């Protein structure tokens, strides 16, 4: 005679199975929705810092490229010393075709008389042997004061008079009450790229903010301000500006000091 087992023994309680809709049978739709919501929050919290990290890296790379360009400008000046001149800076590369030749070709555009074809344009990256642009794929802007772009020896000749002594002005606040003097200015038009010449040789959309517009209008005044959102007074500003002060340049070019001494009267 066989002994009754657990499934056939009437004296033992049978194991109970949970109904299909009871807790423990699986995730309900509400639980799945909560899980997906939590995952979305986590992903959103991760993607925002990642975007900030990319923007900060691009900004850092561009600032380093501008520092390298500043060093290259000094090297250019040292390579163009004269008997009575500490050297001069290169001319900008024009953005539109003109008398000097092809625009946006990376070469400085200098007229036959030694003057620059334009005072403000693109950095002549090919002339200086530099990378083509910034971390956003746009070419760097560049402006130079006439007194720093013409060979001092050539300026002393009767047929090539010395340029004026006007320097560039760099504004540290929108009113520009006390601008800083600059011999030259390097500009990256930032992440939005408004007003920049792109790597394809074209020009991006013009900026809408007044201070970014100041950096492309071709005059001798430039804005170097903290970043500003588009909904702030004055409009968006994300340009990066590096100014070369005359004193900073003299400290690197005037060796011996007599190279920068005023000429003795005849």
pLDDT in tens, 181-238: 999 999 999 999 999 988 887 889 999 889 999 999 999 999 999 999 988 888 999 9
Asked whether the predicted pLDDT for residue 116 surpasses 90, the reply is yes
Tokens of 240: 């990066």
Quote the Cα angle for 236-134-209, to 5°: 15
Q: How many CA atoms lie within 13 A of 15 on its CB side?
A: 4
Is position 26 within any domain? no
Q: Between these two residues, 113 and 71, which has the higher pLDDT value?
A: 71
Residue pLDDT, tens place only, 163-184: 445 899 999 998 899 999 999 9
Asked whether the predicted pLDDT for residue 106 surpasses 80, the reply is yes
Q: Please state which of the ranges 5-9, 99-103, 128-132, 230-234 shows the lowest mean pLDDT.
A: 5-9
- The domain tally of the chain equals 1
Residue pLDDT, tens place only, 50-69: 677 888 899 999 999 999 99
For residue 152, name the pLDDT band (cuts at 50, 70, 90).
low
Strands 184-188 and 141-144: antiparallel
Is position 23 within any domain? no
First-residue to last-residue Cα distance in the chain? 139
Question: What is the span of the domain harbouring residue 233?
Answer: 53-255
Contact predicate 117/103, CB 8 Å: no
Dmax (CA) for the chain in angstroms is 139
Asked whether the predicted pLDDT for residue 156 surpasses 90, the reply is no
SS3 243: strand
Tokens of 127: 């002339």
């Amino acid at each position: 005679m066989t002994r009754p087992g657990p499934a056939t023994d009437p004296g033992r309680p049978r194991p109970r199975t949970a109904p299909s809709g009871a807790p423990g049978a699986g995730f309900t739709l509400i639980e799945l929705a909560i899980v997906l919501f939590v995952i979305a929050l986590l992903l959103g919290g991760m993607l925002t810092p990642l975007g900030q990290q990319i923007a900060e890296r691009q900004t850092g790379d561009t600032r380093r490229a501008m520092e390298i360009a500043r060093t290259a400008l000094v090297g250019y000046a040292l390579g163009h010393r004269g008997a009575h001149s500490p050297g001069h800076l290169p001319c900008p590369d024009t953005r539109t075709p003109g008398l000097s030749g092809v625009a946006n070709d990376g070469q400085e555009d200098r007229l036959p008389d030694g003057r620059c074809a334009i005072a403000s344009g693109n950095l002549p990256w090919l002339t200086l042997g530099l990378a083509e642009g910034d971390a956003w794929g746009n070419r760097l802007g560049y402006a130079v004061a006439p007194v720093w772009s013409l060979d001092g020896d050539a300026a002393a000749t009767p047929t090539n008079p010395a340029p004026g002594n006007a320097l560039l002005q760099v504004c540290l606040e929108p009113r520009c009450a006390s601008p800083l003097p600059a011999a030259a200015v390097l500009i990256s038009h930032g992440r939005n790229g408004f007003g920049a010449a792109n790597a394809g040789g074209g020009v991006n959309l013009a900026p809408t903010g007044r201070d970014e517009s100041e950096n492309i209008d071709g005059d001798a005044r430039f804005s170097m301000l903290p970043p500003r959102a588009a909904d702030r007074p004055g409009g968006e500003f994300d340009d990066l500006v590096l100014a070369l002060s005359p004193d900073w340049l003299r400290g690197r070019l005037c060796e011996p000091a007599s190279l920068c001494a005023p000429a003795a009267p005849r």
